[in-house]
Amino acid sequence: MKYKIFADVIVVFHFLWILFIVSGFCVTLYGVIFDRKYLDMLMFRVIHLCGIFYVGLLTVLGKWCPVTILEYNIRQKYDSSLFYSGSFMVDWIERIVYPDVHPMLIQIPTVIIAVSTVVIFLTLPPRIKKREIKD
């Protein structure tokens, strides 16, 4: 039972990671286009850049995501014949995280988002706030 719970937690984490990558790109793009200084957070953009770069690199190299591999291995330890996880929410999140589509439909947008994020980061780097020194 602990393997099932751990695998379900990993699927939810994976879903949240995907949301971060996609929404992070949208937030960054919105902030840059409309010059929203409050959306130009250095740490957020650096973490997002590293994350999408890693995901894009995995996609280009044709490698599996380590989170997918971990979830698969843990799920196999629970029950290798299990298709439906038994949890309504986890089942639907799995359908979003692991859609039954041709891989190119995931790979092409991923690479486009990764390249766009790198270009935006390099051409419009995050602003670093300077502290005012009071005497």
Task: Read off the pLDDT of residues 121-134 as tens digits, 9 standing for 90 and up.
Answer: 888 887 766 665 66
Angstrom distance (rounded) from CA 96 to CA 10? 14
Neighbours of 24 (CB within 10 A): 19
Length of the chain: 135
Whether 82 shows a pLDDT value over 60: the answer reads no
Question: Is 80 exceeded by the pLDDT of residue 105?
Answer: yes
Q: Look at residue 19 in the predicted model and tell me its pLDDT.
A: 92
Between 124 and 79, name the one with better pLDDT: 124
CB atoms within 10 A of CB 79: 12
Q: How confident is the model at residue 20, as a pLDDT?
A: 92
Q: Which residue has the higher pLDDT, 38 or 115?
A: 115
Q: What percent of the chain has pLDDT over 90?
A: 5
42 closest CA partner among 61, 21, 28, 62 = 28
Residues 6+ apart with CB under 8 A from 99: 106
14-50 per-position pLDDT tens digit: 899 989 998 988 888 888 788 777 666 778 888 899 9
Nearest to 57, CA basis, from 123, 107, 119: 107
